[in-house]
């Protein structure tokens, strides 16, 4: 069923077209990903649907009774408000109606006729809009999201604030859920939870994301916003990338032929007096039409083209720690860590929010003091630090002044270069370079911070969530640059694909201060965790088995189960074979999922395999539990 549609929709800011006579329809159950370059107008598209922005021309038709709800790009501010009250506000004016109704109902004794009439009106609205179920809905959402309804928003971390905002968006029971960069500020575990939650959501979804693994797992259709045109691409993300590349190549070919024809006609019109006497007036009109068409052509945006200004090489040793420990308020954050970081290493710090990744970076740089152990720092280290909160940017200053600090020239590769020319490599044209930073989008601010960092020599890059808000093309180019970088990289990122494509090893923060070094990227971390879970389950079963060497597990189990029924004895005898079979299936599925090509498949195919993996893990855990139960 069609839920909404755009009809010849037009929107522009100045001379910059956002939507140019666009048609679009959304149907029940669709999960549509809106992609496009930073500044293409993706957030404006969502604002049109929520009424925060109006069209210049055309119309948006939303079916009667369809409810839309939006998850904002930034998490809510920390404030002294109960989580339940915050979620309840997501129901809009219904929450106010319910509050007014319950307040009035407590004070009906001696109420005026006007109060009674208002009470009846409010009661009618509560009946019509199911206001009676609002409180139970809020309680169910708190339980589903594992949040204490009486806790304050001020006590929540960024990831939990994001969850609270999603619960708030669901309070209105939307038919269409609008999500603007939903994975920002979430750790990997929270992203995977969100993926599963949205896959089970019964309504339609329109979401903006640059997290390629998230898009592959969730999207059933891609819509591409490019220079005012909206193109629909059914199917998975990889198919969209292939079609998009072909479209751009065809467009480039068409433009080249068009420009050649226009150049030939311009030569003809200037041939002189003889040509003017014999020229065809129809051909002249056609030339004028060609000129108009060329003037109206919206050129494709260029690609970001940046290079990192590299300092002289650091010493071969960058950092070495010996049994360092650090804690705050009685809580151990890092416990006896031995770590060796050599020049050229590219290391990802992996783990949930708040586990101590930033603390380790501060310890290595000397910004924090450790409680015990020893830290040795190498020589000639020049640090470039990308901070996810962008504190290095002056929001009131212009783009140009943030990079050049009021000067007109910067030094790059030993040569002087005008700052406006340098900024064009980062897709900031001169007019945009003179704009205050506070007027930029989130992606543009991140791109500016990269421009500021890469203009200065460095041999140690520390990147804290550099992928937030960046478009996919910039992400891919940043991956290439980091792979060519001759210095050392420490990376904190929850973008699984970005980590896989850039690092040589990972530090897994396993909790309770334990940090484990693993060769490879995020997929290798997952494989390590799965191996550990399987080993731990086997050890748990083995621990409860009789200690005699001569008996097999089956024999030991049967001999210790004299009080079991015949059926239970048979079940106990068959369980080892079942467990072995499930472990073989699980190993095969894990091998498939860990393959580098796995997430390049269609969303349905990958999700089916992931569901099968989860189902097999669950069956294996149940089989172990049953074996323990019968064996005891």
Q: pLDDT digit string (tens) for 269-304?
A: 666 545 554 556 666 666 566 656 555 544 544 555
Predicted local distance difference test score (pLDDT) of residue 279: 52
Q: Evaluate whether 380 touches 315 at the Cβ level (below 8 Å).
A: yes
Predicted local distance difference test score (pLDDT) of residue 355: 84
Residue 460 pLDDT grade (very low, low, confident, very high; cuts 50, 70, 90): very high
Of residues 244 and 344, more confidence is placed in 344
Give the bridge partners for 82, in sequence order: 152
Q: Which of 63, 60, 65, 58 is nearest to 47 (CA)?
A: 60
Q: Evaluate whether 412 touches 455 at the Cβ level (below 8 Å).
A: yes
Residue 137 pLDDT grade (very low, low, confident, very high; cuts 50, 70, 90): confident
Predicted local distance difference test score (pLDDT) of residue 31: 93
pLDDT digits 0-9 by tens, 498-544: 898 889 899 999 888 899 998 888 888 888 888 877 666 666 655 55
Predicted local distance difference test score (pLDDT) of residue 337: 92
pLDDT digits 0-9 by tens, 537-594: 666 655 555 544 333 333 333 333 346 676 777 788 888 888 888 878 887 887 777 6
Q: Evaluate whether 16 touches 192 at the Cβ level (below 8 Å).
A: no
The 3-state secondary structure of 212-226, one letter per residue:
HHHHHHHCCEEEEEE
Q: Which run of H or E residues covers position 505?
A: strand 505-511
- When pLDDT is averaged across residues 627-632 and rounded to a whole number, the result is 74
**Whether this model's pTM surpasses 0.95:** no
* Mean pLDDT of the residues in the chain: 80
Q: Assess whether pLDDT exceeds 80 at residue 116.
A: no
User: Among 67-76, 174-183, 557-566, where is mean pLDDT lowest?
Assistant: 557-566
Residue 356 pLDDT grade (very low, low, confident, very high; cuts 50, 70, 90): confident
Residue 9 pLDDT grade (very low, low, confident, very high; cuts 50, 70, 90): very high
Residue 222 to residue 229: CA distance in whole angstroms: 14
User: Among 101-110, 270-279, 302-311, where is mean pLDDT lowest?
Assistant: 270-279
Percent of the chain with pLDDT over 90: 15
Q: Assess whether pLDDT exceeds 90 at residue 376.
A: yes
Query: Residues at the annotated binding site for ATP?
Result: 36-43, 351-358
Query: Residues at the annotated binding site?
Result: 36-43, 351-358
Predicted local distance difference test score (pLDDT) of residue 543: 59
Residue 335 pLDDT grade (very low, low, confident, very high; cuts 50, 70, 90): very high
């Amino acid at each position: 069923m069609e839920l909404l549609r755009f009809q010849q929709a037009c929107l522009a800011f100045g001379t910059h077209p956002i939507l140019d006579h666009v048609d679009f329809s959304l149907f029940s159950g669709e999960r549509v990903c809106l992609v496009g370059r930073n500044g293409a107008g993706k957030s404006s598209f969502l604002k049109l649907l929520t009424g925060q922005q109006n069209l210049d021309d055309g119309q948006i038709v939303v079916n009667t009774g369809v409810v839309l709800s939006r998850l904002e790009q930034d998490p809510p501010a920390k404030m002294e408000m109960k989580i339940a009250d915050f979620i309840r506000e997501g129901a809009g004016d219904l929450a106010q109606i319910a509050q007014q109704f319950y307040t009035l109902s407590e004070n009906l004794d001696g109420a005026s006729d006007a109060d009674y009439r208002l009470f009846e009106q409010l009661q009618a609205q509560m009946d019509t809009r199911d206001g009676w179920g609002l409180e139970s809905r809020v309680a169910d959402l708190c339980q589903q999201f594992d949040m204490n309804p009486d806790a304050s928003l001020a006590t929540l971390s960024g990831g939990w604030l994001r969850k609270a905002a999603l619960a708030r968006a669901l309070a209105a029971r939307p038919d269409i859920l609008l999500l603007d960069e939903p994975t920002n500020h979430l750790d990997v575990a929270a992203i995977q939870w969100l993926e599963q939650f949205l896959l089970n959501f019964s309504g339609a979804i329109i979401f903006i994301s640059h997290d390629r693994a998230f898009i592959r797992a969730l999207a059933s259709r891609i819509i591409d916003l490019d220079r005012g045109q909206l193109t629909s691409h059914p199917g998975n993300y990889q198919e969209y990338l292939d079609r998009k590349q072909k479209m751009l190549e065809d467009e480039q070919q068409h433009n080249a032929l068009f420009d050649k024809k226009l150049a030939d006609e311009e030569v003809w019109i200037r041939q002189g007096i003889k040509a003017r006497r014999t020229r065809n007036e129809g051909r002249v009109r056609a030339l004028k039409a060609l000129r108009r068409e060329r003037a109206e052509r919206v050129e494709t945006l260029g690609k970001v083209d940046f290079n990192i200004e590299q300092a002289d090489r650091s010493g071969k040793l960058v950092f070495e720690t010996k049994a360092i420990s650090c804690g705050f308020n009685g809580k151990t954050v890092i416990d006896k860590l031995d770590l060796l970081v050599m020049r050229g290493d590219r290391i990802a710090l992996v783990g949930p929010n708040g586990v101590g990744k930033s603390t380790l970076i501060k310890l290595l740089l000397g910004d924090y003091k450790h409680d015990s152990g020893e830290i040795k720092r190498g020589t000639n280290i020049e640090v470039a630090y990308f901070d996810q909160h962008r504190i290095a940017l002056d929001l009131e200053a212009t783009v140009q002044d943030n990079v050049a600090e009021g000067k007109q020239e910067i030094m790059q590769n030993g040569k002087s270069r005008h700052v406006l020319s340098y900024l064009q490599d980062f897709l900031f044209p001169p007019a945009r370079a003179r704009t205050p930073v506070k007027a930029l989008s989130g992606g543009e601010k991140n791109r500016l911070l990269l421009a500021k960092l890469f203009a200065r020599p460095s041999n140690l890059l520390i990147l804290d969530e550099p992928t937030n808000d960046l478009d996919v093309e910039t992400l891919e180019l940043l991956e290439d640059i980091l792979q060519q970088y001759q210095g050392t990289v420490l990376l904190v990122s929850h973008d699984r694909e970005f980590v896989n494509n850039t690092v040589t090893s990972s530090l897994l923060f396993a909790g309770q201060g334990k940090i484990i070094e693993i060769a490879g990227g995020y997929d290798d971390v997952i494989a390590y965790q799965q191996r550990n879970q399987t080993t731990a389950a086997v050890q748990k079963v083995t621990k409860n088995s009789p200690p005699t060497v001569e008996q097999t597990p089956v024999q030991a189990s049967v001999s210790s189960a004299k009080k079991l029924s015949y059926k239970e004895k048979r079940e106990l005898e068959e369980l080892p074979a079942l467990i072995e079979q499930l472990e073989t299936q699980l190993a095969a599925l894990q091998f498939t999922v860990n393959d580098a090509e796995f997430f390049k498949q269609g969303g349905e195919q990958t999700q089916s395999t992931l569901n099968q993996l989860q189902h097999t893990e669950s069956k294996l855990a149940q089989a172990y539990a049953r074996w323990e139960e019968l064996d005891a």
